[in-house]
Chain A
Amino acid sequence: MNKIIKIGIISTVFVFLAIVTVSMFNEQRMNKLYSEPTQDNGESIVPLNQIVSGGPPPDGIPSIDSPKFITADQAEGFMSNNDLILGVNINGDIKGYPLQILVWHEIVNDNVGGTPIAVTYCPLCFTNQIFNRTVGGEILEFGTSGKLYNSNLVMYDRNSNSLWSQAMAQSIVGKFAGANLDRIPFDLAYWKDWKNLYPNSKILSKDTGNIRPYGADPYGDYYTNSDILFPIPNKDDRLGLKEIIIGVEASGDYKAYKLKDIEDFRVINDKINDKSITIWSAFPFMVKMFNPNVDAQTLTFRYDDEKKAFIDNQTGSEWNFDGKSINGTLSGNTLSRLPFDEGFWFEWVAFHPETDVYSQ
């Protein structure tokens, strides 16, 4: 038996050494990746050693570049009531992008209402973002770079190969380093709510040019369990790691609002860095943020359950969920929508460790 014990010890040591060797090899490989300028001119605004490879090469996860659309009725064939859809309305052109398709592509290059946009989704951080693809007069086309920054999607533009952080809405490496993308306000909603609100909207078809198992979510129960399997920077216990938050930035100040709070209160009137905002929720997940300034006055709002409308406290005018006054002295006015970030708390605080958290 002594021999067996010896063999056991030797095997255990061997396993340990194998693990350490592989780890060191991987570390070296990562360090090499970090230290090599990833783009031609090597300019970057973040430490290169924090941009890591997720495994696949650029475009390994293919973006959708020639999206096809179907009617909401046709989409009923593959959408379930509790499926989430990312929607946008530009100049009355309303389009919806089901997350069950986005999860396999992460980026859709599209044109909506005459505006070239990139619809982006990072499943790991649950960050949805829609950007105007026009930068400095040039229309960019985005693809997945296969890299991550703070566990968040890093895109690249096919025009210059610059890298762009989805969460920062900014180029982080390459010719465009430092350039910002304009965020476009979007809606995230359950299909059952979306199809009732926008029955005539165009829905991204599963005919994407790629064969993918749409309908199966490869991330499984990742969104709902409390576990995170990768190390995260700036861990902050003020909220749960996967608490879904609405993140707002105003002149360098950051504030996070729990989605659940917005859904519970229906309306949050607040100020960030002296900038007034009002955040509304009428349906689960679906949040809209507006600039409450109308005719040189700053309005505050409340939700009227009976009228199912938003009422401003200053004039008593009624407003619909699109921010349009439909009754009262301010009837005909429309509030301007403001963009925000939506995603898991761990991702927001990784990028904005100095953020405030809203509490009533």
Chain B
Amino acid sequence: MQGKTTLNHNAKRSIIKGFVIGILTIIIYLLVVVFTTPNLTGIDAINAAFRVNSIIIIGLGIGIGAQMFISTYSKGLGCSINNRKGILSGGTGSTALSSFFSFFSLVPLGCCGSWLLILSFLPSIFGSTVSVILIEYSKTLSYVGLAIVFSFTSLSAYKLHKRLQEEKQLSEQAKTDSQIKEI
């Protein structure tokens, strides 16, 4: 059994939480697709969603899952990464935006569909000119949203890494100090 790497409780808990949240993100996305595409069977709607937006769907699952893992892990360490809440909410906001824009590409799933109706309301909120831009560049915007999710995740990962290194340095320093004391 020697050499086998075991994960501590905090790491296990964080992985599980990250995994579940990642899966939940994907499920929620797919549920939205299924409910807004009643002209297709659920399986057909999900197939279509994956054919059109597989990168976004999987990417969001991984991004949000990783963010949750980092957040839970750092919380378990008893350390608070600065602006952890901000990072999480920023990531969630980007996820929502990325999902929203990626849903635009579901319009061709059915004539007179739900997403055509939803897009119809955009000018009332953003004005016609901005709405035209949002629709024309929806695919790009959904990828930008995904990139923001990963940016927040990377930022959190970097901060966690930095924090862990600091802790390691502190513990090594403490070890050295105690050795000196012993001498």
Q: Which residues of chain A have a CB within 8 Å of any CB of chain B? A: 1, 3-4, 7-8, 11, 14-15, 18-19, 22-27, 29-30, 33, 52-56, 60-61, 104, 106, 122-125, 144, 146-148, 151-153, 210-220, 222, 227, 229-231
A55 in contact with B112 (CB, 8 Å): yes
In the assembled complex, which residues on chain A have CB atoms less than 8 Å from the CB atom of B42?
Answer: 19, 22-27
In the complex, whether B111 has a CB less than 8 A from a CB of chain A is yes
In the assembled complex, which residues on chain A have CB atoms less than 8 Å from the CB atom of B171?
Answer: none
Given contact pairs A22-B34, A60-B112, A52 touches B132 in the complex (Cβ within 8 A): no
CA distance A27 to B136 in the complex (A): 33
CA distance A219 to B124 in the complex (A): 20
Given contact pairs A213-B132, A215-B132, A227-B51, A54 touches B114 in the complex (Cβ within 8 A): yes
CA distance A212 to B116 in the complex (A): 11
CA distance A15 to B136 in the complex (A): 33
CA distance A147 to B112 in the complex (A): 8
In the complex, whether B183 has a CB less than 8 A from a CB of chain A is no
Q: Point out the residue from A15, A60, A151, A216 that lies within 8 Å of B132, measured CB to CB.
A: A216
Between-chain CB contacts (< 8 Å), 29 pairs: A3-B12, A3-B16, A4-B16, A11-B20, A15-B23, A18-B27, A18-B31, A26-B42, A26-B45, A27-B42, A33-B38, A54-B38, A54-B112, A54-B114, A55-B117, A56-B114, A61-B116, A61-B120, A104-B120, A106-B112, A123-B111, A124-B111, A212-B128, A216-B135, A217-B135, A220-B138, A222-B107, A229-B51, A229-B108
B contacts with A, residue count (CB < 8 A): 53
Q: Which residues of chain B have a CB within 8 Å of any CB of chain A? A: 7, 12, 15-16, 19-20, 23, 26-27, 30-31, 34-46, 48, 51-52, 104-105, 107-117, 119-120, 122-124, 128, 131-133, 135-136, 138-139
Q: Point out the residue from A4, A18, A148 that lies within 8 Å of B39, measured CB to CB.
A: A148
Q: Number of contacts between A and B (CB, 8 Å)?
A: 156
CA distance A211 to B124 in the complex (A): 7
**Residue of A at shortest CB range from B117?**
A56
| A273 CB to nearest B CB, Å | 31
A8 in contact with B19 (CB, 8 Å): yes
CA distance A20 to B12 in the complex (A): 29
**Residue of B at shortest CB range from A27?**
B41
CA distance A60 to B115 in the complex (A): 11
**Residue of B at shortest CB range from A29?**
B38
**Residue of A at shortest CB range from B42?**
A23
Given contact pairs A213-B132, A220-B105, A122 touches B30 in the complex (Cβ within 8 A): no
CA distance A227 to B107 in the complex (A): 13
In the assembled complex, which residues on chain B have CB atoms less than 8 Å from the CB atom of A231?
Answer: 40, 44
Q: Point out the residue from A55, A214, A218 that lies within 8 Å of B104, measured CB to CB.
A: A218
B111 in contact with A54 (CB, 8 Å): yes
CA distance A9 to B45 in the complex (A): 24
In the assembled complex, which residues on chain A have CB atoms less than 8 Å from the CB atom of B123?
Answer: 211-213
